[in-house]
Amino acid sequence: MADTDPGLSPLLESASANPEPSPAPDTGFSALRDDVSALVEDARNYAEAEIAFQKTRAGLAGKHGARALVMLVLALVLLHIALIALAVGAVIALAPLVTIWGAIAIVVGVMLLGVALLVMSALKDGKLLAAMFGSGEAP
């Protein structure tokens, strides 16, 4: 039945007419070469995937970082408005007890005292950081 099949007869004739030469004896280097080329291809694929991942991660971090920064700025603006309202309210509350100028002096004085305490605390922390990261010499 194989002799009458028209699709197989040309293949059988070409196979018998041109016998393939036997391949050169395998010395093991071709298998090693195949393994090294597969390793290089895998490393290239890994590097491309890692670069794509890092680009995506950086994009997400940038977007969320920008959003967090905007939210922080808005929070600071609202805090500033709240402190202004507190100062105005304190002046209004103190005005009947002392004159309006006395109330303003008290509120501004308390605020400046708070600023001075915060600056002294920041300087203390700054000196501690300078000592930790300084050259090691005593001032």
So what's the pLDDT on residue 134? 80
Q: Provide the whole-model pTM.
A: 0.52
Question: Domain residues for 60?
Answer: 29-133
pLDDT of residue 20: 56
pLDDT tier at 131, thresholds 50, 70, 90 = confident
Tell me the average pLDDT across 42-56: 93
Residue type, 28: G
Instruction: State yes or no: pLDDT of 91 exceeds 80.
Output: yes
At residue 7, the pLDDT reads 54
Angle (deg, nearest 10), helices 100-133 and 29-94: 150
Residue 103 CB partners (closer than 8 Å, separation 6+): 90, 91, 92, 93, 94, 95, 97
Per-residue pLDDT at 2 exceeds 70: no
Asked, for residue 4, whether it belongs to a domain, the answer is no
Q: Sign of dihedral through CA atoms 110, 112, 116, 121? A: positive
Once rounded to an integer, what is the mean pLDDT over residues 23-39?
77
Mean pLDDT of 15-20: 53
Number of domains in the chain: 1
